[in-house]
Amino acid sequence: MPDALAVIPQPALLERTGEAPFVVTRATTVVVDERPDLIGLAVLVADVLGRVGGIPVEVRYSEAGATDIVRLRLVETLPPGDEVYRVLTRSGRIDVEARTLAGLVRALVTLRQLIVVAPSGELRVPAVRIEDAPRYAWRGLSVDVARHFVPMDDLKVVIGLMAHYKLNVLHLHLTDDQGWRLDLPSRPLLTRLSSATSVGGDPGGSYSAADFADLVGFAAARGMRVVPEIDVPGHVNAATHAYGELNPSGEPTDTYTGIEVGFSRLHADLPATHAFLADVFADVAAMTPGEYVHIGGDEVLTMAPDEYATLVGAASAAVRAAGKKVVGWQEIAHTPLEPGTVVQYWDAREDPAPFAAAARAGALFLMSPAPKAYLDMKYDASTELGLEWAGHIQLRDAYDWDPATLIEGVAEESVIGVEAAIWTETLRDLPALAQMLLPRLAAIAEVAWSAPEQRDWEDFRTRVAAHAPFWDRIALPWHASPQVDWPR
* Distance from C-alpha of 152 to C-alpha of 92, rounded to nearest angstrom: 40
Helix ranges (DSSP H) in 236-302: 237-242, 271-287
Q: Is the peptide bond before 11 cis (omega within 30 degrees of 0)?
A: no
Among this protein's residues, is 350 annotated catalytic?
A: no
Give the integer Cα–Cα distance in Å for 75 and 83: 12
The answer, yes or no, to whether the previous bond of 228 is cis (omega within 30 of 0) is no
- The residue from 19, 58, 131, 299 that is catalytic is 299
Are 395 and 377 within 8 A, CB to CB? no
Q: Encode 332-348: b = buried (16+ Cβ within 10 Å), e = exposed.
A: bbbbebeeebbbbbbee
Q: 149: burial class by Cβ within 10 Å (0-12, 13-18, 19+)?
A: buried
Residue among 215, 204, 261 nearest 236 (CA): 261
Distances in Å between the Cα of 295 and the Cα atoms of 28, 313, 335, 420, 468 are 49, 10, 13, 18, 37
b/e 299-329 (16+ beta carbons within 10 angstroms → b): ebeebeeebbbbbbbbbbbbbbebebbbbbb
CB 27 within 8 A of CB 67: yes
Which active-site residues does the annotation give? Answer: 299
